[in-house]
Amino acid sequence: MTVINSAAPVPGGGTRRIQPAEEGYAEVFSEDGFATIILPAGEVITGGIAARAAEEFDELAGSGFIPLLLEITGVESLTRSARSVFGAARKASAVAVVGTSQVDRVIANFLLGGDLPPCPTRYFSSKSEALSWLESRTK
């Protein structure tokens, strides 16, 4: 199967970017009124990976603000430059960071330990709880 760079509709509305499988790529898409960035498991998240994801998030947000679900499950580590990129996100109205392990929690603490986020930001170990929280932020 060949996958090309494109946007595809997502059930329930929204857009999902389809990218070729490539090392170090964060999946970025929107659905149900919020954006999702899924960081690649087993990777060191660099400033370059973060910048590419942030750029795609900015495109999805357009001229407005939207809630963001940031999935970090299984990420090996996060560099200071990646933390700076994510900390500078200005188009997010709220950010829910999701991870499932104790290592994910440590990485989230590092991620959130920089400058004060410009919007409400919270860590969750459950994706369903994170989605509920984001939904409460869109009302």
Tens of pLDDT along the chain (139 residues) come to: 223 333 434 444 554 443 433 457 899 999 888 999 999 999 999 999 999 999 999 999 988 999 999 999 999 999 999 999 988 878 999 999 999 999 999 999 999 887 667 789 999 999 999 999 999 887 6
What are 61's strand-pairing partners? none
- What is the pTM for the complete model shown? 0.81
Token digits of residue 20: 């070729």
pLDDT value at position 20?
38
Contacts of 85 (CB under 8 A, 6+ apart): 47, 50, 51, 54
The closest of 101, 103, 102, 105 to 123, measured between CA atoms, is 105
Question: In whole angstroms, what is the distance from residue 46 CA to residue 24 CA?
Answer: 9
